[in-house]
């Protein structure tokens, strides 16, 4: 279960059914342009539970939200699910709360709670 480093995007398979994806930096037109295809491939390539770690994101624009939401919907269609980890990142958590993304993708500030929710059977 090695960590794969790709600049603004890193991932690690924690198990056969659970993948963690770290995003970092500015998720604006330029940042999302660099990670959109690999992120979508990692997030929605197979029906698994995916934790997207946004604790290293310094700015989250609408284009970044669109990328995350589209990947979450594609993953859902394949039988997988996604959760977002914001940790202690008020900039990102504030943006997510403002747009109401929690109605689509669960948001967590606590890593253990996020992982527990993804390991629990889907309801």
Return the domain boundaries, the chain. Answer: 4-110
- Tell me: the pLDDT tens digits for 65-111? 999 999 999 999 999 999 999 999 999 999 999 999 999 999 999 99
Contacts for 21 with CB less than 8 Å, ≥ 6 apart: 9, 10, 11, 39, 42, 43, 50, 51, 52, 53
For strand 49-60 and strand 18-27, is the pairing parallel, antiparallel, or unpaired?
parallel
CA nearest to 35, candidates 2, 11, 15:
11
Q: Structure pTM?
A: 0.91
At 46, the pLDDT band (50, 70, 90 cuts) reads confident
Secondary structure of 80-100 in the HEC alphabet? Answer: CEEEEECCCCHHHHHHHHHHC
For strand 49-60 and strand 4-6, is the pairing parallel, antiparallel, or unpaired?
unpaired
CATH number of 4-110: 3.30.750.24
Give the lowest-confidence range in 37-41, 53-57, 85-89, 118-122.
118-122
């Amino acid at each position: 279960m090695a960590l794969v480093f790709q600049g603004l995007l890193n991932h690690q398979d924690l198990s056969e059914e659970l993948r963690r994806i770290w995003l970092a930096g500015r998720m604006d037109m330029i940042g999302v342009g660099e990670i959109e295809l690999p992120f979508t491939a990692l997030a929605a390539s197979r029906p698994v539970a995916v934790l997207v770690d946004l604790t290293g994101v310094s700015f989250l624009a609408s284009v970044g939200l669109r990328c995350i939401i589209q990947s979450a919907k594609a993953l859902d269609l394949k039988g997988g699910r996604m959760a977002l980890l914001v940790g202690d990142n008020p900039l990102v958590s504030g943006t997510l709360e403002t747009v109401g993304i929690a109605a689509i993708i669960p948001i967590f500030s606590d890593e253990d709670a996020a992982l527990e929710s993804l390991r629990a059977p889907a309801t």
